[in-house]
């Protein structure tokens, strides 16, 4: 965008649009990068620094002055120095009185200090209007101009006018300011950029553990057993066949684990007869990562679909089918259509397709922009009704896949049942308990408890 601001100035030298000077304390990397950007956006910039000589890296159009001189030139002062050095601001308190101080600092650890840096700054310079901003933007991104990532800048502060001034600068840099309220929000804003998918840790660790277990389980049954007893080399099974066993198993177990805590919570509430007692901590945490569990389950389900759809292209499968056909042809034998097998095969495929389809729908609804556009009633309808339907379809898919094999002794190599049988345990428990909870004799008191009724009111004293 070409702002042609010089042109505007020529036409109307005293226009109110003239950008006000911005002062930056600190000539470190972030201060310089921010200065560059702010100059590009048409603001005069003045740097405040201990020594006014290390000017080689500083943007050419910017002045470098002492802290006191620089502060006097601007109404907004961006403090681009680390919290440990904030002390030098105390003697400047008089000059900074009434000015807008922008705290851009970050810490190295979550909750490193008892109070946030911005609140600490507000205590050091009580007369100034402190605003927290810009800490979620990286210097490298500002420098290179490639802000592919989030353009959101969280802003908080106690003075509305000061916040407005900072938000205008944020917008002028092409970023999106998000008002987070008063300075109390600063701690959260400072912790935000330090997080690395905190809600995903448990689901991912759990699925890694389960993957490892089922990998060795299937390896034993499908590769080592035939090698030991039939001397057949099926080692290439570890590339597609075994992953295609693990993926659906994990998808089903994790999906069931999404609905397990809800069922547990219902039992606990029925037993306690109140909803006003806190759940145990582990249950709270489990409930908070249900969305992530579900999305990991969806990832495994998608992989299962891809692995299944390439089956007919696999060399091994083509070889096996053609060997069967050739041996039938050589034996002059034509089999009639086994309708039961056709029914079973089509049924488990259809159940799988419908289950996966609903699963993807659930995933799409959990996209932030979609879930923001549905109300609470619609969200519950999708996540609860459609969610259970998905679980039922996927469990049925696995049951029908098993079909007649459950009782066949061939399925129990080394007394190990087929892996998919293990995957049915959790979903079947969840579905049976949920089915029991739907009966009116349990559903009615549960509904009343969730509306605030208590069996023994003294409980919550």
According to CB under 8 A, which residues from 300 to 339 bind a second copy?
A: 302-303, 305-316, 318-319, 321-330, 332-335, 337-339
- Binding mask 92-111 toward a second copy (x if CB under 8 A, else -) reads -------------------x
115 in contact with a second copy (CB under 8 A): yes
19 in contact with a second copy (CB under 8 A): yes
DSSP 102: E
Whether 67 contacts 24, CB under 8 Å: no
Whose structure tokens read 């509904």? 447
53 in contact with a second copy (CB under 8 A): no
Whether 71 contacts 48, CB under 8 Å: yes
Give me the least distance between CB of 424 and a second copy, in Å please.
21
Among 66, 90, 144, 408, the residue binding a second copy under the rule CB under 8 A is 144
Helix (H) or strand (E) holding 10, with range, is helix 5-11
347 in contact with a second copy (CB under 8 A): yes
Short-list 77, 83, 90, 85, CA closest to 120: 83
Query: 53 φ, ψ to 5°?
Result: -105, -30
Give me the least distance between CB of 23 and a second copy, in Å please.
19
Among 343, 412, 414, 435, the residue binding a second copy under the rule CB under 8 A is 343
Among 240, 270, 416, 428, the residue binding a second copy under the rule CB under 8 A is 240
Q: How many CB atoms lie within 10 A of CB 99?
A: 21
Helix (H) or strand (E) holding 129, with range, is strand 129-132
Cα separation, 325 vs 342, in Å, equals 18
Alpha helices in 58-157 (DSSP H): 67-73, 93-96, 117-124, 139-144
Bin 379: left if φ > 0, else alpha if -120 < ψ < 50, else beta: alpha
Segment interacting with a second copy (CB under 8 A) among 80-88, 287-295, 423-431, 438-446: 287-295
Among 82, 158, 272, 434, the residue binding a second copy under the rule CB under 8 A is 158
Cα separation, 300 vs 306, in Å, equals 10
Q: Which is nearer to a second copy, 56 or 84 (CB)?
A: 56
413 in contact with a second copy (CB under 8 A): no
Cα separation, 225 vs 234, in Å, equals 10
Give me the least distance between CB of 164 and a second copy, in Å please.
7
Cα separation, 294 vs 68, in Å, equals 56
Helix (H) or strand (E) holding 435, with range, is helix 425-438
Query: 38 φ, ψ to 5°?
Result: -70, -35
277 in contact with a second copy (CB under 8 A): no
Query: 75 φ, ψ to 5°?
Result: -90, -20
Q: Which is nearer to a second copy, 378 or 408 (CB)?
A: 378
Among 68, 93, 208, 239, the residue binding a second copy under the rule CB under 8 A is 239
Cα separation, 382 vs 379, in Å, equals 5
Q: Which is nearer to a second copy, 315 or 415 (CB)?
A: 315
Whose structure tokens read 């490892």? 212
Q: Which is nearer to a second copy, 148 or 230 (CB)?
A: 148
C-alpha 257, offset from chain centre = 18
Q: Which is nearer to a second copy, 231 or 458 (CB)?
A: 458
Give me the least distance between CB of 111 and a second copy, in Å please.
5
Whose structure tokens read 């810490």? 107
Give me the least distance between CB of 415 and a second copy, in Å please.
28
Among 61, 85, 91, 123, the residue binding a second copy under the rule CB under 8 A is 123
Cα separation, 117 vs 188, in Å, equals 11
66 in contact with a second copy (CB under 8 A): no
Q: Which is nearer to a second copy, 136 or 418 (CB)?
A: 136
196 in contact with a second copy (CB under 8 A): yes
Give me the least distance between CB of 170 and a second copy, in Å please.
8
Q: How many CB atoms lie within 10 A of CB 19?
A: 16
80 in contact with a second copy (CB under 8 A): no
Whether 157 contacts 129, CB under 8 Å: yes
Alpha helices in 220-242 (DSSP H): 225-230
DSSP 47: E
8 in contact with a second copy (CB under 8 A): yes
Among 139, 264, 270, 446, the residue binding a second copy under the rule CB under 8 A is 139
Among 368, 407, 415, 439, the residue binding a second copy under the rule CB under 8 A is 368
Give me the least distance between CB of 68 and a second copy, in Å please.
25
Number of amino acids touching a second copy (CB under 8 A) = 153
Give me the least distance between CB of 404 and a second copy, in Å please.
13
Segment interacting with a second copy (CB under 8 A) among 222-230, 248-256, 341-349, 435-443: 341-349
Q: Which is nearer to a second copy, 311 or 425 (CB)?
A: 311
């Amino acid at each position: 965008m070409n702002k042609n601001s010089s042109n505007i100035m020529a036409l109307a030298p005293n226009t109110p649009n003239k950008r006000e000077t911005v002062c930056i304390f600190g000539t470190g990397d972030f201060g310089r990068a921010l200065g560059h950007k702010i100059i590009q956006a048409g603001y005069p910039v003045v740097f405040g620094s201990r020594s006014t000589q290390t000017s080689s890296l500083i943007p050419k159009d910017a002045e470098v002055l002492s802290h006191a001189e620089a502060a006097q030139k601007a109404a907004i002062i961006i403090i681009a120095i680390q919290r440990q050095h904030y002390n030098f601001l105390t003697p400047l308190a008089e000059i900074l009185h009434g000015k807008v101080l922008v705290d851009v600092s970050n810490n190295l650890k979550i909750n490193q200090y008892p109070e946030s840096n911005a609140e600490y700054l507000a205590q050091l310079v009580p007369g100034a209007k402190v605003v927290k901003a810009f800490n979620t933007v990286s210097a490298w991104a500002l420098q290179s101009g490639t802000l592919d990532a989030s353009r959101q800048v969280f802003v908080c502060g106690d003075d509305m006018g000061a916040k407005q001034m900072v938000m205008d600068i944020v917008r002028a840099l092409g970023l999106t300011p998000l008002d987070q309220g008063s300075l109390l929000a600063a701690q959260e804003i400072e912790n935000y950029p330090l997080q690395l998918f905190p809600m995903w840790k448990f689901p991912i660790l759990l699925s890694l553990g389960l993957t490892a277990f089922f990998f060795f389980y299937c390896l034993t049954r499908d590769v080592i057993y035939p090698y030991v007893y039939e001397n057949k080399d099926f080692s290439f099974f570890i590339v597609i066949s075994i992953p295609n066993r693990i993926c659906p198993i994990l998808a089903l177990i994790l999906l069931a684990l999404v609905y397990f805590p809800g069922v547990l919570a219902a039992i606990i509430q029925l037993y306690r007869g109140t909803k006003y007692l806190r759940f145990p901590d582990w249950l709270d945490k489990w409930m908070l990562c249900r969305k992530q569990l579900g999305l990991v389950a969806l990832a495994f389900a998608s992989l299962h679909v891809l692995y299944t759809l390439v089956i007919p292209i696999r060399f091994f499968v083509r070889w096996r089918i053609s060997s069967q056909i050739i041996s039938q042809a050589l034996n002059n034998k034509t089999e009639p259509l086994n309708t039961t097998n056709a029914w079973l095969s089509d049924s488990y495929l259809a159940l799988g397709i419908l289950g996966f389809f609903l699963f993807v729908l659930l995933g799409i609804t959990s996209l932030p922009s979609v879930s923001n556009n549905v109300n609470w009633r619609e969200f519950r309808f999708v996540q609860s009704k459609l969610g259970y339907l998905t679980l039922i379809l996927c469990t049925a898919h696995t049951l029908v896949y098993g079909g007649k094999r459950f009782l066949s002794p061939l399925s129990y190599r080394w007394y190990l049942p087929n892996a998919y049988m293990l995957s049915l345990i959790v979903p079947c428990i969840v579905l049976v308990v949920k089915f029991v909870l739907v009966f009116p004799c349990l559903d009615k008191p549960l509904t009343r408890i969730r509306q605030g009724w208590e069996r023994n009111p003294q409980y919550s004293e």
